[in-house]
Amino acid sequence: MSASTTTSDIIRRSAAAQAAALEAGEVSSEELTRAHFGRIAAVDGDLNAFLHLNQDEALTTARDVDARRAAGEELPALAGVPIAVKDVVVTEGQPTTAGSKILQGWIPPYDATLVTALRKAGLPILGKTNMDEFAMGSSTESSAYGPTRNPWDRDRIPGGSGGGSAAAVGSYEAPLAIGTDTGGSIRQPGAVTGTVGVKPTYGSVSRYGLIAMASSLDQAGPVTRTVEDSALLHELIAGHDPHDSTSLPDPVGDFTAAARSKDVKGLRIGVIEELESEGFAPEVRARFTESLDQLERAGAEIVRVACPNFTYALGAYYLIMPSEASSNLAKFDGMRFGLRVIPEDHPTAENVMKATRGAGFGDEVKRRILLGTYALSAGYYDAYYGSAQKVRTLVQRDFTAAFSTVDVLASPTSPTVAFRLGEKVDDPMAMYMNDIATIPANLAGTPGISVPSGLAEDGLPAGIQFLAPARADERLYRVGGALEALLEDSWGGPLLAKAPELTNGAQR
């Protein structure tokens, strides 16, 4: 490594730029990986983005990549670039807790399919990131291991449920991360941390090895600092998997080329009327409008689109998701794996199950299990769960109608900037409203991306969301890459460069 370049400088580069530095011999993967662990040691004491670090294995992977590169082997594009993985994705030999006490200390005996892809491509896995318990939340405050804090202001939330992945990427602890998105858990954290988050088309990235919350809604995807980085990571983890019955057989698209094209001439962008309500903060809407103006000047056509059933998407989601969650979480019974609490009196199987679930699940998980069990119960199934599925169909029809006239849809990603820790913990409905713009894509299985749109209240980041038809993820990278370039020109560089510097104990 040259004397004029330090690893501290390199870890602030995009993942694509870090990969280029590795290829050019400017830095080794071992040096790069050690530098990221050094950054974690310096700042994560306050952020709590990581639940588990995987230093020995990550450095072994890095040294192997360095040896293969030195031997002249042709390597995948991101080989040697470190990555963090949300703790809902199982990793052989590493703890996987899903942010819950009920899985504390559990070591999976196998890798998720996407983790297998990461290992095969030579990405050192730094560790597992914090999350809302079983991905149930919008703030990472329901984690059994304490909340993650926002790198822009540590009195504020980093979004959820994947706040740990977004905070790690936004604070330069990791150049790449894996998140999962059930109702916005990649995109909403991206918006409030100034990072890029992508929810791929449902089924395009294998769900095998994801600890399920709601199987018809869950989708893993990239968390990065640039649109190009998301494209590179998306191409790596996408593809058909015979282990996943919902996996699509489609070939993986050229997302990176779309991200690099930066051309929106002739692209029709539909602004969703139903997602411009008074619930969206004025400065968030202002950054949204400014982003659209930039795209219009670059040659895109902006039109207004009505999706009337989006109004009911939030209510439908909060019946479908708890119903599926109550079924999926039934496996955590104190018998097969994870926590087991044996009561002193009458330690029957039923009492062990009750004691284990009572001690192992947090309040938000219990709330959703109760809601879902009620919605599925005899006498209420048709009125609640069945009706919610009908609304889901109407939301899907709204998307179909909208995409018959436009190429992509646009809205603010989150109604507000990051709110303060504890502000909404006692008001579940206020917390759930944070997902109002992101939920429709999960109900319909369509892909979505959140890209930073600028700074709003208190100098905190806001995000703009683009949605595309199922299997048309390339459109997201085309419009996202173009807008990112336009806005960075006007800002004089990446938005994250405007974030305050972090050291343990320091406050913004």
Active site residues: 86, 161, 185
Place of tokens 């040259």: 2
Nearest Cα to Cα of residue 403 among 357, 444, 373, 364: 444
Nearest Cα to Cα of residue 267 among 488, 489, 472: 472
Fill in the DSSP letter of residue 41.
H
Per the structure block, which two tokens stand in for 336? 């097969």
55 phi/psi in degrees, rounded to 5: -65, -50
Residues near 389 by Cβ (< 8 Å), separated by ≥ 6?
316, 320
The helix or strand, by DSSP H or E, that contains position 450, with its residue range, turns out to be: strand 448-455
- On the CB side of 444, how many CA atoms lie within 13 Å of its CA? 28
Distances (CA, A) of 389 to 381, 396, 481: 11, 11, 34
Q: Are 219 and 438 in contact (CB under 8 A)?
A: no
What is the 3-class SS of 278-307, one letter each residue? Answer: CCCCHHHHHHHHHHHHHHHHCCCEEEEECC
Number of H helices, E strands in the chain: 17, 11
Q: Can the peptide bond before residue 161 be classed as cis, meaning omega within 30 degrees of 0?
A: yes
Sheet holding 125-129, edge to edge: 50-53, 125-129, 83-86, 176-180, 220-224, 196-199, 448-455, 461-467, 408-412, 268-272, 301-305
Q: Are 425 and 451 in contact (CB under 8 A)?
A: no
Fill in the DSSP letter of residue 150.
B
Per the structure block, which two tokens stand in for 136? 């149930």
Nearest Cα to Cα of residue 221 among 177, 266, 256: 177
411 phi/psi in degrees, rounded to 5: -160, 165
